[in-house]
């Protein structure tokens, strides 16, 4: 088998075989295939695309390229979000679902660009460790029904090689490559069922609805073909989902929702919708209403809060100690009376990175107390001088950042109807075809 022939085949629009995909993935891991040849293939895929079977074959090969966690006979559900601003769903969904008796094996990641990462949020809790060896990860899922871990270097190493090349060759925006990258990590992490929260809108990676829907459909099809039942929910990211943006600030909001003491109603609603789908995967005989009721009860009864506290303690965290806080703040107030017509999630996510809540480079330190809190949401009626949001940082907020914050919220004279939070659910239309 020759890489030249594989590149030529894909360049000409032909489908690659499972054996050819396995050859490419193995060569990426071992270094036996040169970067320039891998890049040529990625560019050919970018322009020619991949078929459903072909995409599933690439996903399976990627998942098999490193360590794969096997949960033995345990049936476990995982969830994944394609990234957003103020998107703290994992910290709410995972304990809610685990409190419903559904094991959750959650491998999670760090922040990417303007979107926050669950690992960074969890590590703002004093003492918390997300580095769980596979044995501990497996044992904790079996004992507590939930583990929240960062992906190890041994998990899907081929994807790390290919993604690094995609990142510098303008081939990131390929639906088959995005789908196989996401799904390979979910499969390697051991979950038997997967629920995806696919974002669309101004603050999402996929800003156009049709692109997000295509990505959702592609990932659901992959799950079906590799024997991992998958459901995707399309949710809006035209405004921040939660009221908090930033690591410790988002932990505080998650705790408020788990304890019933506050938090964004939008964040709560989307979290419960994801939880419902995860419960339905585990209890397929349930009706959607029954699954929704079970998730709501786990939240309102305090069971989800107890589950989260137990998992944090098991991973070395201490919720009795204060979370990091920033020393300085800047508040944006309404320049006039009216209604909040728009809150730009992309702008606020990028500003949060500048404040220290995220990274410009992968080795940048995180300021866990930095970020911002919204005091109004789209559709809120506000008076002149009313606080709209407060930004927090360890250093002085520059005049340029102040100007960007002021322009991120738009006020209108008339009421604006927010974009619907949940557009649709995408599920497989046939039983999984194990291949």
Give pLDDT tens digits for 289-338: 999 999 999 999 999 999 999 999 999 999 999 999 999 999 999 999 99
* CA 48 from centre of chain: 27
* Residue found by looking up tokens 């629009």 in the block: 13
> Domain 328-412's class?
alpha beta
Candidates 341, 339, 353, 347; CA nearest to 406 is 347
pLDDT band at 135 (very low <50, low <70, confident <90, very high): confident
- At 357 the pLDDT is 86
Name the residue with higher pLDDT: 243 or 168.
Answer: 243
159 is catalytic: yes
Mean pLDDT for the chain overall: 91
Calculate the alpha carbon distances from 14 to 7, 141, 174, 211 in Å: 10, 42, 17, 23
Checking if the pLDDT of 184 tops 70, the result is yes
Catalytic residue among 181, 184, 236, 350: 181
pLDDT of the residue at 114: 63
Q: Which of these is catalytic: 79, 80, 110, 281?
A: 80
Predicted pLDDT of residue 433: 43
181 is catalytic: yes
> Which residues neighbour 296 within 8 Å (Cβ) at sequence distance 6 or greater?
272
**Helix (H/G/I), strand (E/B), else coil: 245:** strand
The pairing of beta strand 193-200 with beta strand 230-236? parallel
pLDDT at position 432 is 44
Name the token pair of 9: 């085949």
Give the C-alpha separation, 408 to 241, whole Å: 15
- pTM of the prediction? 0.90
Q: 274, 89 in Cβ contact below 8 A?
A: yes
Give me the residue label for tokens 């974002």: 199
Question: Which of these, 160, 152, 149, lies nearest to 90 by C-alpha position?
Answer: 149
pLDDT of residue 253: 97
**What would the CATH number be for the domain defined by 3-63?**
1.20.970.10
Q: Who's near 5: CB < 8 A, 6+ residues apart?
A: none
Task: Please say whether the dihedral angle defined by the alpha carbons of residues 17, 162, 69 and 74, taken in this order, is positive or negative.
Answer: negative
User: Which pLDDT belongs to residue 107?
Assistant: 79
Fold match between domain 77-320+421-427 and domain 328-412? no
Ordered by start, the domain boundaries in the chain are 3-63, 77-320+421-427, 328-412
Q: What is the fold of 77-320+421-427?
A: Pyrimidine Nucleoside Phosphorylase; Chain A, domain 2 (3.40.1030)
pLDDT more than 70, % of the chain: 96
Give the pLDDT confidence of 371-404 residue by residue, as tens digits.
Answer: 999 999 999 999 999 999 999 999 888 999 999 9
Residue 267 pLDDT exceeds 50: yes
Q: What is the pLDDT of residue 164?
A: 84
- Rounded CA-CA distance 129/121 in Å is 11
Mean pLDDT of 145-151: 88
Q: How far apart are CA 418 and CA 425, in angstroms?
A: 19
Residue from 114, 121, 166, 199 carrying the catalytic annotation:
166
Neighbour count for residue 136 (Cβ, 10 Å): 15
Q: At what angle do helices 288-300 and 265-282 cross, to 10 degrees?
A: 120
Q: List the catalytic residue out of 57, 120, 159, 367.
A: 159
CB environment 170-188: b (16+ within 10 A), e (fewer): ebeebbbbbbbbbbbbbbb
DSSP 362: T
Q: What distance in Å separates the CA atoms of residue 382 and residue 327, rounded to the nearest whole number?
A: 27
pLDDT exceeds 70 at position 423: yes
């Amino acid at each position: 088998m020759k890489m030249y022939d594989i590149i030529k085949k894909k360049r000409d629009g032909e489908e690659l075989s499972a054996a050819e995909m396995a050859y490419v993935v193995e060569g990426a891991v071992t270094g036996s295939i040169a970067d320039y040849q891998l890049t040529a293939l990625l560019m050919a895929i970018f322009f020619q695309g991949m078929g459903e079977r072909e995409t599933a074959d690439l996903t399976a090969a990627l998942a098999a390229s490193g360590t794969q966690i096997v949960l033995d006979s345990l049936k476990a559900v995982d969830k994944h979000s394609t990234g957003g601003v103020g998107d703290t769903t994992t910290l709410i969904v995972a304990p809610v679902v685990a409190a419903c008796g559904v094991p959750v094996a959650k491998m999670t990641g760090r922040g990417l660009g303007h979107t926050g990462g669950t690992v960074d949020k969890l590590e703002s809790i004093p003492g918390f460790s997300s580095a769980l060896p596979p044995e501990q990860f497996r044992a904790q899922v079996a004992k507590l029904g939930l583990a929240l871990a960062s992906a190890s270097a041994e998990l899907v190493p081929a994807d790390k090689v290919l993604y690094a090349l995609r990142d510098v060759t303008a081939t990131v925006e390929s639906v088959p490559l995005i789908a196989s990258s996401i799904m390979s990590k979910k499969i390697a992490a051991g979950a038997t069922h997967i629920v995806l929260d696919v974002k669309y809108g101004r603050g999402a990676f996929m800003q156009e609805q049709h692109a997000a829907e295509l990505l959702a459909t592609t990932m659901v099809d992959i799950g079906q073909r590799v024997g991992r039942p998958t459901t995707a929910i399309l949710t809006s990211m035209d405004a921040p989902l939660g009221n908090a943006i930033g690591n410790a600030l988002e932990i505080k909001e998650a705790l408020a929702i788990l304890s019933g003491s506050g938090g964004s109603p939008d964040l709560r609603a989307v979290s419960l919708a994801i939880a419902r789908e995860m419960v339905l995967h585990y209890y397929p005989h349930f009706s959607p209403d029954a699954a929704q009721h079970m998730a709501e009860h786990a939240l309102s009864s305090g069971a989800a809060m107890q589950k989260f506290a137990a998992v944090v303690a098991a991973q070395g965290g201490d919720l009795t100690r204060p979370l990091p806080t920033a020393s300085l703040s800047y508040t944006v107030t309404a320049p006039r009376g009216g209604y909040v017509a728009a809150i730009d999630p992309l702008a606020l996510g990028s500003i949060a990175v500048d404040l220290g809540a995220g990274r410009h480079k992968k080795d940048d330190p995180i300021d866990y107390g930095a970020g911002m809190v919204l005091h109004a949401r789209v559709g809120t009626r506000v008076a002149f001088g009313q606080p709209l949001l407060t930004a927090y940082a360890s250093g002085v907020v520059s005049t340029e950042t102040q100007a960007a914050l002021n322009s991120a919220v738009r006020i209108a004279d008339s009421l604006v109807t927010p974009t619907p939070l949940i557009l649709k659910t995408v599920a497989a239309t046939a039983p999984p075809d194990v291949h």
